[in-house]
Chains A and B, each alone.
Chain A
Amino acid sequence: MSTAIDRRQALLGMIGAGGTIAGALAPSVAAEEHPAHPVAPPDAVSMLYDNTICTGCRACMMACNDANGLPSDTSLSQGLWDMPTDLNSKTKNIIKLYEEPGEGFAFVKRQCMHCLDPACVTGCPFGALKKNLWGAVTWDGSRCIGCRYCEVACPFDVPKFQWDHWNPKIVKCEFCFDQRLKENQQPACTGVCPTGAVIFGKRVDLLAKAKARIAASPDKYFEKRVYGEHEAGGTQVLYLSSVAFEKIGLPNLGSTSLGHYATKVTSVIYKWLSGPIIVAGILGALIKRNWNRHEAERPEREKQTGLPEQL
């Protein structure tokens, strides 16, 4: 009987130790990796989308499907056209239309924003999503467990899950990393754009270009600012818009990186291992109380049944 108690204690100890080690390691790494305002590395690649130039031809959507081997989403068009209503498991890139009667309209191209400090990468428990070379946020299927934390974590609602597949993958824009970026080619969407509404370049260059466009015609652009310069700690996809960013579906996120918020929470919980110790302490106290109660009732039960009690 005494051995049984030992095993229980050993298990409890193992769980507690595992938790505290994990807790101790996680915040110490995270605190360095998640500054509130991350600085883009000089070689960070970028896309600049300007909806005052976009004509909504959707060549980028077709090129994206071709480059990534994605099928057409024909669920709403009786098998005729590629007609997704949002980013989904068959669509990594989409042109949407904002339309306000009397006020005009504006297109918006949505794909992964390739944040400087991506929430999906912070949220992924197994490192399946990673900030790759040149800042492209890529997905590694061999590490993914399909928990969809990335889908929940992303403030832009970008990663999508293949619900209709037996071996589902996470589908998101990866900056054409494997398909084209590695081959020294620009992404399919920027390469095919006939009007130059979306262009490819280094982030520093495109930021300068965007600011030059604003300076050249300040009345054309909403709030005379570049979306993505500071949003959520800065993104590698930059937007210029003629209408409010919120109206074309780009959320108002503030300038602090979301990874930094997460770190703030974890750094409190795991301070001096306090979180795991408190949880383990409460659990231990509960178990001790129940065990004591059990032991107190044991002689009576053994008398009733006439058998020695087993665990």
Chain B
Amino acid sequence: MLSSLVTSPRVLETIDERLLRCGISRRDFVKFCSSLMIAAPFGLAITDKKTPEDVAQGLGKVIRPPVIWIAFQDCTGCTETLLRTSHPDLGDLILNVISLEYHETLMAGSGKQAEEALTEAVARYSGKYVCVVEGSIPTRDKGVYMKLAGRPAMDVLADVAGKAAAIVAIGSCASWGGIPSADPAPTGAVGVVDLMPEKTIINLPGCPPNPYTLLGVVLQFAESGTLPELDAERRPKFAYDRDIHEHCPRRAHFDAGNFVKQFGDQGHREGWCLYEMGCKGPDTHAGCSTRHFNEIPDVWPIGIGAPCIGCTEKSVAFRVPMFQVVQLHTVAAPPNTYAPISSPQGTISPLATGLVGLAAGALAGAGYVASRQFSKAPRDESVPGSGPPGGSSTHDQGPDTGPKP
């Protein structure tokens, strides 16, 4: 399909028209749709359809959404993860499904040419395009720490994202600042939401996030003009509403109490739970444990034996030390440990009972004897006390003369 590339049409056209013009068969497109149904997240408008034909029917009428992808303080990891999807592959995606107008890593042009392409795309599709932001935006010292075509990142963002129909902040950096915002944050890096909270923004945090989440969001927006349901952090719920821990393939080891104690130990080789190595799975909301990367089973951090660092959580990733064990909140005991009907209680041995009885008896006897002694004492004292009429002197003599029988 890549070979069928023709020069980019400078008008908005539907996917069907595009495919027809490029000579791509209906069969190929339905195949593409079926792979999309498998790959794209459940619960999404696009995958609610029954068959790939239904998807093709709906998707065919969609006007290819123009996408402008701008990168700021990033490592291009989010782009890399998108490049590594194969079903559907990136070529299909950017050439047939979306209309990628500007992407610094993928485009051939550079320098003035590239700048012109950006300006032109923003002007042509103003108010209609989806702006994907990758990387954080430096704000300290008027944003001089990152410049694009001589302009600070903040200005570029205000210009490009300001005219977008929707903004997708891809990756943890664009979502809230990510690694560049980690202490001491020399550039004062922030996310897109921090700079333009009133805009329509979808955060797809992750380092990197799963590319299918991006695909799903963009396609749903293109097809129906709606956005998926978002949580408080503006993350789509279909991908970010569950804990990593809830669906972790290693959960059985957690429940059984099988923990890796040291990297490379027997438990680590056997694929045991990484909780004690500082895995942030219990604190992290993301779909990684059910939807792995690159369409290869077990390609995700925990799958390859590295503890989750909580990259989708603003309060965890790059804030909490990587190997610090997280506090669990409400996690039920593993299924092999149930409370017994009657909880075990200690019994009191006859010996202990006897000893305590003896001690109590001795105390009671001592008390009785002492009381007898004290009740006798004032009688002896009263005889010499009757001599001098002074009241206090008897008191002073008391302790000395008292206890003699």
Q: What is A's interface to B at a CB cutoff of 8 Å?
A: 56-59, 61-62, 65-66, 72, 74, 77, 79-86, 94-98, 107-108, 247-249, 304-306
B335 on the A face (CB < 8 A): yes
Contact status B340-A82, CB under 8 Å: no
Contact status A79-B339, CB under 8 Å: no
Other 4 A-B pairs with CB < 8 A, given A62-B330, A108-B341:
A61-B332, A94-B339, A95-B339, A247-B341
Interface extent on B, as a size class?
20 to 34
Which residues of B72-88 are within 8 A (CB) of A?
none
Which residues of B317-375 are within 8 A (CB) of A?
327-335, 337-344
Which residues of B148-204 are within 8 A (CB) of A?
none
Contact status B338-A96, CB under 8 Å: yes
Chain A contacts of B113 at CB under 8 A? none
Contact status B333-A82, CB under 8 Å: yes
Taking CB as reference atom, which chain B residue is nearest A108? B341
Chain A contacts of B334 at CB under 8 A? 81
Chain A contacts of B382 at CB under 8 A? 304-305
Please name 28 pairs of A and B residues whose Cβ atoms are closer than 8 Å in the assembled complex, sorted by A.
Answer: A56-B335, A56-B338, A57-B332, A62-B330, A62-B331, A65-B330, A66-B330, A72-B330, A77-B333, A80-B331, A81-B328, A81-B337, A82-B330, A82-B332, A82-B333, A83-B333, A83-B337, A85-B340, A85-B343, A86-B343, A95-B338, A96-B338, A96-B339, A247-B341, A249-B341, A304-B382, A305-B386, A306-B386
Chain B contacts of A57 at CB under 8 A? 332
Chain B contacts of A97 at CB under 8 A? 338-341
Contact status A82-B386, CB under 8 Å: no
Q: Which of A72, A84, A86 contacts B331 (CB 8 A)?
A: A72
What's the Cα separation between A86 and B340 when bound, in Å? 8
What's the Cα separation between A35 and B343 when bound, in Å? 33
Taking CB as reference atom, which chain A residue is nearest B337? A83
Contact with A along B202-240 (1 / 0, CB 8 A): 000000000000000000000000000000000000000
- Contacts A72-B328, A77-B333, A82-B331 given; indicate if A249 touches B338 (C-beta within 8 A): no
Contact status A98-B341, CB under 8 Å: yes
What's the Cα separation between A305 and B394 when bound, in Å? 12
Chain A contacts of B257 at CB under 8 A? 80
What's the Cα separation between A58 and B336 when bound, in Å? 12
Taking CB as reference atom, which chain B residue is nearest A80? B328
Taking CB as reference atom, which chain B residue is nearest A105? B338
